[in-house]
Chains A and B, each alone.
Chain A
Amino acid sequence: MDLAKKFKAPEKFIEVSSYNFLPFRFSRFDSRYLLTNEVGEYLFLSNEQFLAFTRHKLKYSEAIYLDLKCKHFLIDSDSDVSIDLLSLKLRTKYQAIKQFTSLHLFVVSLRCDYSCPYCQVSRISENKTQFDMTEETALLGLDFVFKSPSGAIKIEFQGGESLLNFELIRFIVEEASSRNKVEKRDLVFVIATNLSFIDNDVLHFCSEHNIFISTSLDGPQDLHDKNRPRPDKNGYDLTVNGIRNVQRSLGVDKVSALMTTTESSLSRVRDIIDEYISHGFDSIFLRPLSPYGFAVKTKSIHKYNAQRWLDFYKEGMEYIFELNRNGIPFREEYSSIILKKILTPFNPGYVDLQSPAGVAISAIVFNYDGDVYASDESRMLAEMGDKEFKLGSLNNDSYEEIMTSEKILSLLSETMTEGMPMCTDCVFMNYCGSDPVYHYATQKDIIGHKSRSGFCEKNMGVFKYLLGILGEDASRANTLRGWV
Chain B
Amino acid sequence: MITLSTKKGIVRNTTENEPFVIRASTNKNLPLILRKKEVFLVHEDQNNIPIGFKAYAFFDCAPNVPSEHENIYVLPSDLDHLGDGDVLRIDPNTGSVRVLYRRLSKHNSFLTTERCNSFCLMCSQPPRKINDDYLIDEILAAIPLIDRGTGEIGLSGGEPTLLGDRFFELVKSFKNFLPETSLHILTNGRLFEEVKNAEKISEINHHDLMLGIPLYSDISNIHDFVVQADGAYDETIRGILNLKAYDVRVEIRVVIHNQTYERLPQLANFIARNLTFVDHVAFMGLEMMGFTKTNLNVLWVDPIKYQDKLEAAVTGLDRAGIRVSIYNHQLCLLKPSLYPFSVKSISDWKNEYISECDGCLRKEECGGFFTSAAMKYSDHITPFTS
Residues of A bordering B, CB below 8 Å: 1-4, 6-10, 12-16, 39, 41, 60, 66-67, 69-70, 78-81, 84-85, 88-89, 92, 344-345, 481-482, 484
Q: Is the Cβ of A481 less than 8 Å from the Cβ of B273?
A: no
**7 smallest beta-carbon distances between A and B, as pairs:** A79-B220, A70-B218, A13-B224, A81-B234, A10-B225, A14-B221, A13-B225
Q: Residues of A contacting B234 with CB < 8 Å?
A: 79-81
Q: Mark B201-234, 1 if CB is under 8 A from A, else 0.
A: 0000000000000000011111011001010011
Q: Is the Cβ of B225 less than 8 Å from the Cβ of A81?
A: no
Q: CB-nearest residue of chain A relative to B218?
A: A70
Residues of B bordering A, CB below 8 Å: 119, 121, 218-222, 224-225, 228, 230, 233-234, 237-238, 241, 263, 266, 270, 272-274, 276, 291, 294-295, 297-298, 315-316, 319-320
Q: Residues of A contacting B295 with CB < 8 Å?
A: 3-4, 7
Q: List 18 A-B contacts (CB under 8 A).
A: A1-B298, A2-B298, A3-B295, A4-B294, A4-B295, A7-B228, A7-B295, A13-B224, A13-B230, A14-B221, A16-B221, A60-B221, A66-B218, A66-B266, A78-B220, A79-B233, A84-B237, A344-B273
Q: Is the Cβ of A85 less than 8 Å from the Cβ of B237?
A: yes
Given contacts A89-B273, A345-B276, A482-B319, whether A10 and B233 have CB atoms under 8 Å apart is no
Q: Is the Cβ of B270 less than 8 Å from the Cβ of A70?
A: yes
Task: Determine how close the nearest CB of chain A comes to the CB of B136; give it in whole angstroms.
Answer: 27
A344-B241 Cα distance, complex, nearest whole Å? 18
Q: Is the Cβ of A345 less than 8 Å from the Cβ of B274?
A: yes
Q: Is the Cβ of B222 less than 8 Å from the Cβ of A10?
A: yes
Q: Is the Cβ of A8 less than 8 Å from the Cβ of B319?
A: no
A165-B219 Cα distance, complex, nearest whole Å? 60
Q: Residues of B contacting A15 with CB < 8 Å?
A: 230
A14-B231 Cα distance, complex, nearest whole Å? 10
Count chain A CB atoms within 10 A of each CB in B225, B230, B270 and give the residue with the most.
B225
Task: Determine how close the nearest CB of chain A comes to the CB of B215; give it in whole angstroms.
Answer: 12
A482-B294 Cα distance, complex, nearest whole Å? 42
Count chain A CB atoms within 10 A of each CB in B266, B274, B319 and give the residue with the most.
B274
Q: Residues of B contacting A66 with CB < 8 Å?
A: 218-219, 263, 266
Task: Determine how close the nearest CB of chain A comes to the CB of B129; give it in whole angstroms.
Answer: 12
Task: Determine how close the nearest CB of chain B comes to the CB of A366; give it in whole angstroms.
Answer: 35
A44-B157 Cα distance, complex, nearest whole Å? 43
Q: Is the Cβ of B230 less than 8 Å from the Cβ of A84?
A: no
Q: Is the Cβ of A85 less than 8 Å from the Cβ of B274?
A: yes
Q: CB-nearest residue of chain A relative to B320?
A: A344
Task: Determine how close the nearest CB of chain A comes to the CB of B59; give it in whole angstroms.
Answer: 41
A3-B257 Cα distance, complex, nearest whole Å? 14
A39-B319 Cα distance, complex, nearest whole Å? 19
A89-B319 Cα distance, complex, nearest whole Å? 18
Q: Residues of B contacting A16 with CB < 8 Å?
A: 221
Q: Is the Cβ of A10 less than 8 Å from the Cβ of B221?
A: yes
Q: Is the Cβ of B273 less than 8 Å from the Cβ of A345?
A: yes
Task: Determine how close the nearest CB of chain B comes to the CB of A201; give it in whole angstroms.
Answer: 39
Q: CB-nearest residue of chain A relative to B229?
A: A13
Task: Determine how close the nearest CB of chain B comes to the CB of A147; give it in whole angstroms.
Answer: 29
Q: Is the Cβ of A7 less than 8 Å from the Cβ of B121?
A: yes
Given contacts A4-B295, A66-B263, A84-B237, whether A41 and B273 have CB atoms under 8 Å apart is yes
Q: CB-nearest residue of chain B relative to A3?
A: B298
Contact of B238 among A39, A81, A481 (CB under 8 A): A81
Q: Is the Cβ of A81 less than 8 Å from the Cβ of B233?
A: yes
A484-B276 Cα distance, complex, nearest whole Å? 14
Q: CB-nearest residue of chain A relative to B262?
A: A63
Q: Residues of A contacting B225 with CB < 8 Å?
A: 8-10, 12-13
Q: Residues of B contacting A10 with CB < 8 Å?
A: 221-222, 225
Q: Residues of B contacting A85 with CB < 8 Å?
A: 237, 241, 274
Q: Residues of A contacting B319 with CB < 8 Å?
A: 481-482, 484
A13-B225 Cα distance, complex, nearest whole Å? 6
A84-B239 Cα distance, complex, nearest whole Å? 12
Q: Is the Cβ of B241 less than 8 Å from the Cβ of A84?
A: yes
Q: Residues of A contacting B220 with CB < 8 Å?
A: 69, 78-79, 81
Contacts A13-B224, A345-B276 aside, 19 further interface pairs with beta carbons under 8 A come to: A2-B297, A4-B291, A4-B295, A7-B119, A9-B225, A10-B222, A16-B221, A41-B273, A66-B219, A66-B266, A70-B218, A70-B219, A70-B270, A79-B220, A79-B221, A89-B273, A89-B274, A344-B273, A345-B274
Task: Determine how close the nearest CB of chain B comes to the CB of A3; give it in whole angstroms.
Answer: 6
Q: Residues of A contacting B270 with CB < 8 Å?
A: 70
Q: Is the Cβ of B298 less than 8 Å from the Cβ of A88?
A: no
Task: Determine how close the nearest CB of chain B comes to the CB of A184; give it in whole angstroms.
Answer: 21
A484-B17 Cα distance, complex, nearest whole Å? 66
A84-B316 Cα distance, complex, nearest whole Å? 23
Q: Residues of B contacting A78 with CB < 8 Å?
A: 220-221
